[in-house]
Chains A and B, each alone.
Chain A
Amino acid sequence: MERLAYFIRRLLLVIPTFIGITLSTFILIQFVPGGPVEQAIIQMRGLQNVQGANASQAISERQREAIKAHFGFDKPIHVRYWNWLVHDKMGMEVRSYKYSNKTVWELISERFPISLTFGLTGFILSYLVCIPLGIAKALRNGGVFDLWSSVIVFVGYAIPPFAFGMLLKLFFSGSSTHFLDWFPLGGFRSDNWATLSLWGKITDQLHHMVLPLLCYLIGNFAVLTLLMKNSLLDQIGQDYIRTVIAKGGTLRRAIWLHALRNAMIPIATGIGSIFTLMFAGAVLIERVFNIPGMGWLSLDAMVSRDYMVFMGILALTSLLGLLGRIFSDFCYALIDPRITFEKN
């Protein structure tokens, strides 16, 4: 019961936090130069130039007001924020400034599945690789295998995923005649994807995903592997393992049935990060491999001052992040009944 209250409190706390994040960004965006109003004015000036009008001729005050009203910039900031949050449903129903034939929601929902595909697959893949590796390292702690795999882990930790991606692209996608040409240069699918057979579709998709997924993997590789290894080692050193052995159980039984279960607890907390995985970290990887996902969209929106799209992505990302953290704690509490969230 105490826990339920705690999680309800946590969920309620999401609201002010979310408002804090979006409001601060919103205010920042409203006051920066080069926004949609200025861009529209510049465009109008350009049109006037074409019509042979005097280039230095200023836009009249009335025109400026009209542009402001069109973008809703004529109202005070709190009204604008309220409109954005409630009336436009987090800005999702506003038209993008850059792609004026689409709403923000349409843009995001086109890209979201792409990022989700990569994020989710990468996430699952890293758990599938790192957990067995971590266990193996813990069981052979200090041995040759442990030492050598440690070197690989450190190498993985040292190289930033996007630089690794650039190298992979260089070596395996035939961008340069000196190296191999095994994989496509980038993108999510081939252009002729729709015309392929089912089997062709699957292989084409996988073919495009191999290199980016390796980058996703290397991003978590070191931290996850060592987390698994250390937490298992910690558990093996605990008294209850000695108890199992003292009562006649084998060491194998003690490790696989008792220690491993407890060692999984810290690993499980990482599940909350699955929500945010699809966004922030992926900006770079999507840029390297030209994957038209959320990260790419947000970068594009920032560069071209497409603020509504950017705000929409930011709102979604932060909301998912907040929920993800609560979800992590929830998993944590579910797995480990000893956890209390009492203030001590």
Chain B
Amino acid sequence: MPRFSIDPITRRRWQRFRRTRRAYYSLWGMVVLYLIGLCANFLANDRPLVVRYEGNWYFPVFAYYPGTAFGGDLHTRVDYKDLAQEPRFAETKGNYMIFPPLPFGPNENIPPADIDAGKTIQVSFFREPQVASVDLNEELEIRRAQTPEFFFGGSSFREIRGQPLGDYWMVGDDFKAAVRQRFANQAAPAQTIIATNASGEQIELAFSPFEPWDRAPNVVRVILREAGVAGNYQTTSFDEAGEAATALPPIWNDLAEADQQRVREAAADRFRSLVPDVYVTVEGAPYRVRFSREDVAYPFRPTDAHPMGLDNAGRDVLARILYALRISLNFGFVLVAATMIVGTIIGGLQGYSAGWVDLVGQRLIEIWESLPFLYVIILLGSVFGQSFGLLLLVYAVFNWIGISYYMRGEFLKLRKQPFIEAARVMGIPPIKIMWRHMLPNSLVPLITFFPFSLVGAISVLTALDYLGFGLPPPTPSWGELLSQAQDAPHAWWLILYPSLVLFFVLLLTVFVGEGIRSAFDPRVASRIE
């Protein structure tokens, strides 16, 4: 037996907790996550863990070294990444640096040149609709036509001249009305009408907007456009050597030799300058070929070196998430601790005195509860500037209510216990009774409340950071990453990764809380207050 003994009740509770497997593993998960957070400096940093220079060891993560320590001329901060490129390190044997696994700091801006993007040109083949135009007279007979072959069964203009349009395309009353309006010389808006032929194929018939002329027109022009080709495209990409970097699309083999050559050349040119779109024809269908190069713009998508991408200031998202993990957990703990201290003091006093103190306390709580916490913190934040101290103060001042109810109840129960009565009769001062006798006996609500308070605290921190009223920039935080995504909705990596980590941490905490609750209160499982 060890010298100090755990009392049997606590031991039984611990055993019960361990039996709740989900909670037990979640607790370990939390411990591991917290350790990862604490080690963020060694996992992601723009300073090396170890520098070996001229036979000496240096540890830049722990200590600051001026530039002169590594043979520089200036006493200023060292940019270790630049230093690593210099001949003293790059070419001298025995001088080296060891960087952390993720060699980027949370606030380090990575220049676009250092990001491996734009190594390929993306080539997209867009199917263009076939287009023709016909001029109709009042009887809807074709008077003139341009490139009609596709729409009129391969017939040239000479073959279809004078025939009614209706022989080829069934047009409805809306089409006829639109034509009539124009021949009647009335203003008409632009209009697109779908027409079908005998075999069920569809095309679009388009009118341009019409303004009345001096006299009525003698023909009306209609544009015929192939329907259903929009969004039909194929892509591939080429590297600088003119080789295909991804699989060639099916269309490639149908291209004429000369066209393939043209596309390759244009792709090669795109590395140096912008190139206009190229038009090619495949089996009679026109295609527009667009050449786009990926340019680095922040926020930038994940790459090999930056597995979670970069944020809008070119900072590594993974590094920021790691540091935010530590900050969120630490601040969460501090916030909850502050809340609990305030709540315990107030609730305890209310419960112990149980007279007018209790009544006044309840009225105050009423005022307090109706003040919107979020508004107050935002107001104060915008006035006094954002700081953790302010956040802590407001949070503690507003969130003690829940826990104080519980402590009040506990103290009210304990007041009537014989051992407390006895202590009071013996003349022990109230403060001492509360501290030495009542508090240790009323820790259960504190312990069961803790995980759920932590969830609340971390959520509030993230939400405030998201709104821009949390910790002052450039503090890395999940909420701040999410708020960046508000302005750049395409940047999925700014939403997905931070919210997954946030979610994971909160879920583990909830599972632990559930385990604690069922260990302390075996009667009712699964209760969230």
| Interface residues in chain A, defined as those with a beta carbon under 8 Å from any beta carbon in chain B | 13, 17, 20-21, 25, 28-29, 32-34, 142, 150, 153-155, 157-160, 162-164, 166-167, 169-170, 175-179, 185, 222-223, 226, 229-230, 233-234, 279-280, 283-284, 287-288, 298-299, 302-303, 305, 310, 314, 317-318, 321-322, 325, 343
CA distance A133 to B375 in the complex (A): 34
CA distance A234 to B523 in the complex (A): 10
Say yes or no: A154-B495 contact (C-beta < 8 A), given A21-B367, A280-B374: no
The answer to whether A154 touches B378 (Cβ under 8 A) is no
The answer to whether A302 touches B528 (Cβ under 8 A) is no
B510 at the interface (CB under 8 A from A): yes
Query: Closest A-chain residue to B511, C-beta based?
Result: A154
The answer to whether A32 touches B383 (Cβ under 8 A) is yes
The answer to whether B366 touches A175 (Cβ under 8 A) is no
B184 at the interface (CB under 8 A from A): no
The answer to whether B382 touches A303 (Cβ under 8 A) is yes
Say yes or no: A158-B455 contact (C-beta < 8 A), given A163-B502, A314-B375: yes
The answer to whether B466 touches A162 (Cβ under 8 A) is yes
The answer to whether A230 touches B524 (Cβ under 8 A) is yes
Q: Is the interface of A mostly helix, strand, loop or mixed?
A: helix
The answer to whether A287 touches B528 (Cβ under 8 A) is no
User: Which residues from A are CB-within-8-Å of B482?
Assistant: 162-163, 166
The answer to whether A230 touches B503 (Cβ under 8 A) is no
Say yes or no: A302-B379 contact (C-beta < 8 A), given A223-B528, A284-B463: yes
Number of residues on chain B facing chain A (CB within 8 A): 46
The answer to whether B379 touches A310 (Cβ under 8 A) is yes
Query: Closest A-chain residue to B373, C-beta based?
Result: A280
The answer to whether A222 touches B528 (Cβ under 8 A) is yes
Highest count of chain A CB atoms <10 Å: which of B363, B374, B526: B526
CA distance A13 to B506 in the complex (A): 39
Query: Closest B-chain residue to A147, C-beta based?
Result: B526
The answer to whether B511 touches A163 (Cβ under 8 A) is no
What distance in Å separates the Cβ of A88 from its nearest Cβ neighbour in chain B?
20
> Which residues of B in the span 442-499 have a Cβ within 8 Å of any Cβ on A?
455, 459, 462-463, 466-467, 482, 485-486, 489-492, 495-496, 499
What distance in Å separates the Cβ of A195 from its nearest Cβ neighbour in chain B?
14
Query: Closest A-chain residue to B507, C-beta based?
Result: A158
The answer to whether B370 touches A302 (Cβ under 8 A) is no
Say yes or no: A284-B467 contact (C-beta < 8 A), given A21-B367, A157-B455, A167-B495: yes
The answer to whether A175 touches B490 (Cβ under 8 A) is yes
User: Which residues from A are CB-within-8-Å of B93?
Assistant: none
CA distance A165 to B463 in the complex (A): 12
Instruction: Pull 19 A–B residue pairs with CB atoms less than 8 Å apart, ordered by A.
Output: A25-B376, A28-B383, A154-B507, A154-B514, A155-B507, A158-B507, A160-B462, A166-B495, A175-B489, A177-B490, A185-B489, A230-B527, A280-B374, A287-B467, A302-B379, A318-B370, A322-B366, A325-B366, A325-B369
CA distance A237 to B295 in the complex (A): 67
> Which one, B495, B510, B524, B526, contacts A170 given CB within 8 A?
B495
The answer to whether A280 touches B489 (Cβ under 8 A) is no
The answer to whether A302 touches B378 (Cβ under 8 A) is yes
Query: Closest B-chain residue to A314, C-beta based?
Result: B375
Say yes or no: A322-B455 contact (C-beta < 8 A), given A154-B511, A158-B509: no
What distance in Å separates the Cβ of B206 from its nearest Cβ neighbour in chain A?
21
What distance in Å separates the Cβ of A111 from its nearest Cβ neighbour in chain B?
16
B371 at the interface (CB under 8 A from A): yes
User: Which residues from B are CB-within-8-Å of A322?
Assistant: 366, 370
Say yes or no: A284-B499 contact (C-beta < 8 A), given A166-B485, A185-B489, A226-B526: no
What distance in Å separates the Cβ of A276 from its nearest Cβ neighbour in chain B?
8
What distance in Å separates the Cβ of A172 from its nearest Cβ neighbour in chain B?
12
User: Which residues from A are CB-within-8-Å of B380?
Assistant: 28
User: Which residues from A are CB-within-8-Å of B467?
Assistant: 283-284, 287, 299
CA distance A198 to B378 in the complex (A): 41
Highest count of chain B CB atoms <10 Å: which of A163, A185, A222: A163
CA distance A25 to B380 in the complex (A): 10
> Which one, A160, A229, A317, contacts B463 given CB within 8 A?
A160
CA distance A95 to B496 in the complex (A): 42
CA distance A299 to B373 in the complex (A): 13
